[in-house]
A and B are shown apart, each in its own frame.
Chain A
Amino acid sequence: MRIIHLILGGLIFLAIIVVYIAQQPPTGEAIGYAQSNYPGMMAGGEGAERSAPLFLPILLWQFCVIGLGIAFIIQATPVHNRTIGFYGAMFVSGLAMAASWAALMLSYKNYLISGETAYIFGFPLATSWLVYGIWLSEAFLALFYVIGFRRYVFTEENERAFAQLLAEKKSAPSQEERL
């Protein structure tokens, strides 16, 4: 099975989740309601009531999206650059994003059960996972791009191949008709 088939499978799986969610009857204030005291300000209402039925599909939705993001990058990386180090970097990045997402959902669920939350760096714990955890875990991909650029993205061999292609193009203009 090739990466493109995995991507198609992931997209179809995501579509199935979306269709499943779309068929669920909304519970509680599913998309919020207007606050009467403060015009223009919405409220979410009872979190547990509106979130509980969607918890599992939403969890899977985001795991699927994280997997798709990694798969897009693998698909775009030439086969000869996909070394063990590259796959390791993708695995670590995917794991970091998945772990942050799982931690966010777990702390949100704990809050919904207990009604209490700790505050970390200015926000409730679950929100801190969003503001800091999700953002920083994604940054692993950017970090690997910088560190691994000459190993996985544009190696010296790639650079030579491109220079040669340009040289060939200059010396013998392509016969292909430009559209």
Chain B
Amino acid sequence: MEISRELIVLFCVGTYMLLSIVVGLWAIRRTRSAQDFFIAGRSLGPLVVSMAVFSSTLSGFGFVGGPGLVYATGMSSIWMVCVSALGYAIAFYTVAKSVRMISELRDTLSLPDILADRFGSSTVRLLTAITILLGVLGYLATQILAMALVLQSILNEVPAFAGINLVICAVISLSVLVFYSYTGGIVASVYTDLIQGLVMIIAGILIVLAAVHVFEGGMAQASQVIFNNDAEAIMPFGTMGMVVCLSWFFMFGFGLAGQPHVITKFMMNRNVKDTRIILPITLFGYVMAAMLWISIGVVMRAAVIGGLADPLAKADMAAPIFLGLFANPWLAGVVFAGLFAAIMSTADAFLNIGAAAIIHDIPKALRGKALQHELKWARLATIGLSILAAIFALYSHYVGGQLIAILGAFGWGMFAAALVPLVVLGLNWKGATKAGAIAAIAVSIVINIGIQLLSLKLPFAMAGGFVAMLASLITFISVSLFTTGPNVPEDISRVMDI
């Protein structure tokens, strides 16, 4: 008996969700303290950390939005991807070692902990925690909405579930996410990341193999089809032009070192020396998975122009339509599971740092001490944050409004602008001061919010996050050069010499 394509996809996604639940159950026993919940007791091996770093960097955006962007704008968005090697290298050279050492030395649980200790300032802790929390809400809401929409599109294809409500899909997918994040905290998160990372790598490789066979002449023929329609689209800057591409290169490359969900992973490896192995594995995983972004986008654009496929109703449909038209059902199943993996791995990372901001960083900044029974509160915060983000997501979807878009402005670009100066420079330059750190965060928040609220269109569609990041880096160094602050604590000063 032939199994239908829809059931195969459903089976793969269901199996993946079941695996996530099993990992959550397994992780309960390994999560006995807040330290276990937030940083896995600094006990993880290099493979687990590598997969966690890359899979939480490449969210569902990489699997759906990325191919959609290539379909819509040609090669422009490839600049976000091809900077990954430089971005990871900068993050590892400048941040990974210091963060891991300070984390062990000061027994820290979060990035705001580290920055507060470095700059001797509870204001820095509070501002960092608020920045993280706002960014997390926006990111998380987007990921939850994406999960629900993808699940709805899969279930709608199965006759028994046709017409299923989006809210039910949100509840199902969120339940899986919250279950393993609640029971196992970051332990469950990183071990599911391991599964998620492997699924994403396999999906990336298989998709490239499928994509090059769509046209008889392979990718070269697909490129020529695009070239004949609009040459700029397949040229290195795509349809959007040079300025926006380079602003993305800067923001996504240098900005990677400021992403709190990535930095937190640097605290988790069992020793400093492991970072030597973590970087190449991370990079390999990312490159393999990101090839899907390029290959699906290019082939779908060429397929539509060449008449092999109908024009897409929405650019974001590039990946699902590609899978429906050109991929073996089992490959489509693996990729859909990979898509869920990508979304969930990013969402669980944000749940974790968001919960840390709520129950650890903000109380510590305001009261001067952490809450009692942090583990219990962390689990409750995980549930609360998920529900809040789901409400934001569904409200935005049904009622409209710009809430998610505004919070989304606090996403990658916000983290990059606010945190890169503090971690990339602040953890390596003793001249950096508290005033410089506060000014940099303030400048980045004002510019990012200003651009979003005023709906400013920057010249040549330059990315707002790039402008904010450039301004905040200049502010950080300039203010630090003209101010003095509390001396760097002796132990952290010695770490900075290592």
Q: Which of B95, B246, B287, B315 has most chain A Cβ within 10 Å?
A: B246
Q: Min CB distance, A94 to chain B, in Å?
A: 11
**A92 in contact (CB, < 8 A):** no
B105's contact among A124, A138, A149, A165, by CB below 8 Å, is which? A165
Q: Min CB distance, A40 to chain B, in Å?
A: 5
Question: Using an 8 Å CB-CB cutoff, how does the interface string of B372-400 with A read, 1 for contact, 0 for none?
Answer: 00000000000000000000000000000
Chain A positions within 8 Å of B233 at CB level: 42-44
Which residue of chain A is the closest to B112 with respect to CB atoms?
A179
Chain B positions within 8 Å of A11 at CB level: 470, 473-474, 477
Give the docked Cα–Cα distance between A22 and B273 (Å): 45
Q: Min CB distance, A5 to chain B, in Å?
A: 8
Chain B positions within 8 Å of A4 at CB level: 425, 429, 431, 477, 481
Q: Min CB distance, B244 to chain A, in Å?
A: 7
* Chain B binding surface SS class: helix
Given contacts A51-B241, A58-B242, contact A65 B72 (CB under 8 A): no
- The total of Cβ contacts below 8 Å across the A-B interface reads 272
Give the docked Cα–Cα distance between A78 and B494 (Å): 11
B89's contact among A54, A73, A77, A117, by CB below 8 Å, is which? A73
Give the docked Cα–Cα distance between A179 and B458 (Å): 40
Give the docked Cα–Cα distance between A146 and B101 (Å): 19
**B182 in contact (CB, < 8 A):** no
Give the docked Cα–Cα distance between A44 and B496 (Å): 47
Residues of B in contact, count (CB < 8 Å): 108
Q: Are B477 and A73 in contact (CB under 8 A)?
A: no
Which residues of B272-311 have CB atoms within 8 Å of chain A's CB atoms? 272-273, 275-277, 279-280, 283, 287, 294, 301, 304-305, 311
Residues of A within 8 A of B (CB): 4, 7-8, 11-12, 14-15, 18, 21-24, 26, 30-32, 35, 37-47, 50-51, 54, 58, 61-62, 65, 68-69, 72-73, 75-78, 97, 104, 108, 111, 117, 119, 121-124, 126-127, 129-131, 134-136, 138-139, 141-142, 145-146, 149-150, 153-154, 158-159, 161-162, 165-166, 169, 174, 176, 178-179
Q: Are A179 and B489 in contact (CB under 8 A)?
A: no
Q: Min CB distance, B268 to chain A, in Å?
A: 17
Q: Min CB distance, B218 to chain A, in Å?
A: 6
**B161 in contact (CB, < 8 A):** no
Q: Min CB distance, A43 to chain B, in Å?
A: 4
Chain B positions within 8 Å of A58 at CB level: 242-243, 246
Q: Min CB distance, A8 to chain B, in Å?
A: 5
Give the docked Cα–Cα distance between A120 and B13 (Å): 37
**B232 in contact (CB, < 8 A):** yes
Chain B positions within 8 Å of A21 at CB level: 243, 459-460
Q: Min CB distance, A33 to chain B, in Å?
A: 8
Given contacts A142-B280, A176-B489, contact A8 B83 (CB under 8 A): no
Stretch at the interface among B34-42, B73-81, B164-172: B73-81
Chain A positions within 8 Å of B279 at CB level: 142, 145-146
Chain B positions within 8 Å of A37 at CB level: 311
State the 5 A-B residue pairs at the shortest beta-carbon distance, nearest first.
Answer: A44-B232, A122-B219, A138-B85, A32-B239, A141-B89
Which residue of chain A is the closest to B290 with respect to CB atoms?
A135
**B90 in contact (CB, < 8 A):** yes
Q: Min CB distance, A155 to chain B, in Å?
A: 9
* Chain A binding surface SS class: helix
Residues of B within 8 A of A (CB): 71-75, 78-79, 82-86, 88-90, 92-95, 97-98, 101, 104-106, 116-117, 120-122, 125, 212, 218-220, 222-224, 227, 229-244, 246, 249-250, 253-254, 272-273, 275-277, 279-280, 283, 287, 294, 301, 304-305, 311-315, 364-365, 368, 424-425, 427-429, 431, 458-462, 467, 470-471, 473-474, 477-478, 481, 489-491, 494-498
Q: Are B106 and A178 in contact (CB under 8 A)?
A: yes
Chain B positions within 8 Å of A44 at CB level: 74, 230-233, 235, 237-241
Which residue of chain B is the closest to A152 with respect to CB atoms?
B93
Give the docked Cα–Cα distance between A79 and B158 (Å): 63
Chain B positions within 8 Å of A69 at CB level: 86, 89-90, 253-254
Q: Are A153 and B276 in contact (CB under 8 A)?
A: yes
Q: Are B232 and A47 in contact (CB under 8 A)?
A: yes
